[in-house]
């Protein structure tokens, strides 16, 4: 299969591109600009440049690519930033998805397969507000509490509508908290707690800030396990159909437990500063029953120690 991976040089997209290439797919990683000097694509992966907001550039890549499918991971993904610039999130996440759907629909050949990367933030409370309790199944009401979540929910609906019209065969994967590393490629975004904690352990940052007492529960999915879910979803996509899956483990961990694991695995202290508690969901944990039953997905690498250990090896190695 020949596959376009948008956001293919980002944290998750890079690993998706790598896993697809390893299984024998022809993969093109789409990036919005020139290849950064510090970022190399996975072995065997081509690179193409186009901004999702530029329909003409996107059309050119897609029309000449001969793609059988696409994994759409390009976009903006910070809850707090989305409150500061909601228009950008709508333009990139919703508008960019609409542009991709238009480009693949116009390309020659049969309707392609499309796997959309979405997020638990569409359910509300993933970054602010009280939020829903877990475990969260696919039929839980979608009530996003941030412009980020709203932009991704609109993208989900656009993909579902395109599938209903027969333009694509689509699967949406809602990810929860993705972490770890694969082949030395880890998460460099220190706005997330694990990369920040590892930076503290490495001596590159002074402390980790906790919201309140650190008792909030989140689940962590290993990035390579999530990449395998994309591969399974790509294989399962059928023209004229759309399926939605919660790609999570179903196992929660408190932020204090996560920091304790970082200290244990790195053998180094991780000082913390507790900030006055801001509103946030107490628990955000997936119910993965549907993806396990229908796609046979099993997140075999997603133990806390494996996630932290792989991420630390990428930072320290």
Catalytic machinery residues:
148
Cα(291)–Cα(189) distance, integer angstroms: 28
Helix (H, G, I), strand (E, B) or coil at 46: strand
In this structure, the strands spanning 69-72 and 208-211 are unpaired
Q: How many CA atoms lie within 13 A of 286 on its CB side?
A: 27
How many Cβ atoms from other residues are within 10 Å of residue 167's Cβ? Answer: 20
Looking at the DSSP bridge assignments, the partners of residue 253 are 218
Helix (H, G, I), strand (E, B) or coil at 117: strand
Contacts of 172 (CB under 8 A, 6+ apart): 115, 116, 118, 156, 159, 160, 242, 243, 244, 245
Structural element, H or E, at residue 3:
strand 2-6
Residue 261 sits at the vertex; the CA angle it makes with 146 and 219, to the nearest 5 degrees, is 35
Specify whether the CB–CB gap between 115 and 73 falls below 8 A. Answer: no
Q: Which two tokens stand for residue 60?
A: 């050119």
Looking at the DSSP bridge assignments, the partners of residue 254 are 217
Specify whether the CB–CB gap between 45 and 8 falls below 8 A. Answer: yes
Specify whether the CB–CB gap between 251 and 289 falls below 8 A. Answer: no
Cα(272)–Cα(155) distance, integer angstroms: 37
Cα(33)–Cα(70) distance, integer angstroms: 19
């Amino acid at each position: 299969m020949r596959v376009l991976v948008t956001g293919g040089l980002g944290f998750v997209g890079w690993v998706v591109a790598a896993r697809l290439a390893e299984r024998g797919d022809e993969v093109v990683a789409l990036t919005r600009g020139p290849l950064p000097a510090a970022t190399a694509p996975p072995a065997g992966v081509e690179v193409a440049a186009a901004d999702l907001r530029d329909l003409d550039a996107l059309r050119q890549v897609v029309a000449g690519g001969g793609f059988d499918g696409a994994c759409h991971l390009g976009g903006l993904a910070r809850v707090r930033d989305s409150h500061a610039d909601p228009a950008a999130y709508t333009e990139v996440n919703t508008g960019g998805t609409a542009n991709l759907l238009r480009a693949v629909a116009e390309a020659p050949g049969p309707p392609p397969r499309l796997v959309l990367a979405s997020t638990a933030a569409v359910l509300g409370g993933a970054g602010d507000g009280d939020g829903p309790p877990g475990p969260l199944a696919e039929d839980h009401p979608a009530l996003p509490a941030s412009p980020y979540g709203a932009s991704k929910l609109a993208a989900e609906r656009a993909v579902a509508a395109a599938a209903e019209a027969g333009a694509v065969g689509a699967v949406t994967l809602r990810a929860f908290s993705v972490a770890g590393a694969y082949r030395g490629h880890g998460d460099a975004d220190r706005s997330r707690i694990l990369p920040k904690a590892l930076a503290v352990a490495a001596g590159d940052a002074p402390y980790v800030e906790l919201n309140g007492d650190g008792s909030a529960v989140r689940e962590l999915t290993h990035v390579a396990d999530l990449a395998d879910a994309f591969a399974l979803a790509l294989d399962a996509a059928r023209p004229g159909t759309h399926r939605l899956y919660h790609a999570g483990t179903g196992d929660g961990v408190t932020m204090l437990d996560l920091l304790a694991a970082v200290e244990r695995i790195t053998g180094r202290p991780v000082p913390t500063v507790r900030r006055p508690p801001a509103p946030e969901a107490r628990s955000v944990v997936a119910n993965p029953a549907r993806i396990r039953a229908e796609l046979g997905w099993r997140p075999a690498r997603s133990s806390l120690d494996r996630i932290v250990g792989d991420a630390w090896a990428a930072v320290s190695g």
